[in-house]
Structure 1
């Protein structure tokens, strides 16, 4: 098929896939040649993680039109459920690759289940009320994981929310989840290649959903709920579908996150309010409903603090100024008019050429 004759939605998806693959090949070439520092190599998996979660949140905010501040909670569910499985199966004879794939599926399924469970009552709310309830869900999940103790011995699994001694395990028992200390010793199986594969899979899911009949129904609900209901669209069904898929994608990001750390904890710095706001900033800055923009924003805003680290005390000040400047460039009416003028001039130049 000729690229010029492709639909706009297909072109957009093709450009996004091509961008991800080209960046992956460039980075792999830099790593192989030794021209990338170890610090930057260590940032590759987190970049993929935040990109995946931003894609999932953009499905909810950009296409469904519902503001969710609980995606750090879904990320936490995916991270801990997958890490728990991996830790339990670490001493088994299971192939590490198969174990990671099963852990990934477990993280996605658990996050989707909680998304479905939370979505049933929550999606009846709108606007600020929905944001507050989803934020509360994220905080509840984080606090539950901070007080949860899980151990295993010959008698099976033991659970407690008091302390490790309350588990009453045998002397040869193994403590898997240790309250605020989390899960330690999870195998490092997350790689940049796996992260890019998960990004592409997330893009395939979102683009296929958005360009399908269900996707058009979801966007119709976003644009006018009453009109959508009047033509027979099941609002609850489609809202719940998109919210669940969005949570599942966030869970996949959590799995990637969990298997990149030696110790997985549910501290506020990992899955708290700030994490949810940061992911939302990626979506808003990249453009609500713009999947490619979310990925670019996630990469830029994650790298900026590290690139500015040499500026010491001025680092976060410069980061804040750049963030405001980028936001104004994307959303200020004058800047949007300027961009449209530049696009029209470029189009005329191409036609004349």
Structure 2
């Protein structure tokens, strides 16, 4: 069914596509946050708040991590560091030094992107689990530095973060109305989707695909692999920083180091793999489900996490390629590359061509 839909979409006229895009956007802006949807989707919590955080922020972070993991095949376990850098840039420059919100956003994007380069430049010579360990350490370093640095609030965090000015009739200073924050995150998501699609269909996207499938072969064919891996880290870090600016410390305008733990990095990685690594609609769907399920079953108290874990385990057993994988990613998994570049290639799945070769 999904293949037939993709075939139809590939041959559809441009006006059909734009009509569907417009309908989806109208649905997200006006139908999804409505009270009628709330009664089923989130009966025990405020649905609009849930749509903004965690659902909207998870989608934004997953789209950024998908550039690194899904498109370039680089396993990053410390992605939360860029989320923290974006949030703390807004907190320090705006909350402590009085910068206006949009100036802090520009600065946060620049600082997060620079952090991606500083992390990637010395570490992207590594591959697989070695790269994963280094990125994990980077994420923990950022959190520990924030917790122990008095100039940026240490363990107390930062309060009174700046808010966007009133625009299009949206008042971001009304702490009882979360819709403006939701609409802002939706706008950010749309921008990131457009950039991701453009990159994926360009020479950059083809280079990332070559690196993900076989980095050595890509290097031999003339692809400057280090340059394109660094570009993936640069863009992914920028999106993570953008998500940090979209968080804004919640309606209370408050952030603290414990908002940016390793478990958040792991959860965003689960969103990417669960939805279909490398496929933007799949990643969005995966992030939506991962963020929504614990809120929907809040009435189960702590048992909801056991149910949540069982769903993930069953998913990885029955459909390891994810809910909506790209065709290229399905082919990679079938050949035993695992869709994670060199790291995935080290372990072939059951029934794959690679595992058959090993069993001979």
Given the two structures, how large is their TM-score scaled by the length of structure 2?
0.74
SS at 2:75's partner residue? coil
Q: Larger C-alpha radius of gyration, 1 or 2?
A: 1
* Bigger mean CA deviation after superposition, 184-193 or 100-109: 184-193
Q: Is structure 2 residue 294 aligned with structure 1 residue 319? A: no
Alignment of 1:194-273 (within 5 A): 194-260=184-250, 261-267=252-258, 270-273=259-262
Q: 1:26-105 maps to which residues of 2 (within 5 A)?
A: 26-30=31-35, 39-46=46-53, 47-88=55-96, 90=98, 99-105=100-106
Q: Which residue of 1 aligns with 2:357?
A: none
Contact 2:273–2:321 (CA under 8 A) maintained in structure 1 = no
Alpha-carbon distance change, 83 to 313 in structure 1, aligned in 2, over 3 angstroms: closer
What is the aligned counterpart of 1:276 among 265, 272, 278?
265
Residues 278-293 of structure 1: pairs in structure 2 closer than 5 A: 278-293=267-282
Asked if structure 2 preserves the Cα contact closer than 8 Å seen for 1:45 and 1:256, the reply is no
Which runs of 5 or more residues in structure 2 are unaligned? 1-6, 164-171, 173-179, 331-360
**CA distance in 2 between partners of 1:179 and 1:332 (Å):** 41
Paired residue for 2:160?
185
Q: 2:290 aligns with which of 298, 301, 315?
A: 301
Q: Does 1:141 align with 2:142?
A: yes
Gaps of 5+ in 1: 93-98, 151-176, 341-353
**Superposed CA offset, 1:80-134 (max 9, x none):** 00122221454x7xxxxxx332222222111111001110011110000000000
Change (3 A) 1:200 1:83: same
Tell me the distance in 2 between the aligned counterparts of 1:291 and 1:257: 22
Q: What's the RMSD between the two structures over aligned residues?
A: 3.2
Q: Secondary structure at the match of 1:264?
A: coil
Give secondary structure in 2 for the equivalent of 1:324.
helix
Instruction: Give the direction of change, closer, same or farther, for the CA distance of 1:203–1:130 in structure 2 (3 Å limit).
Output: same
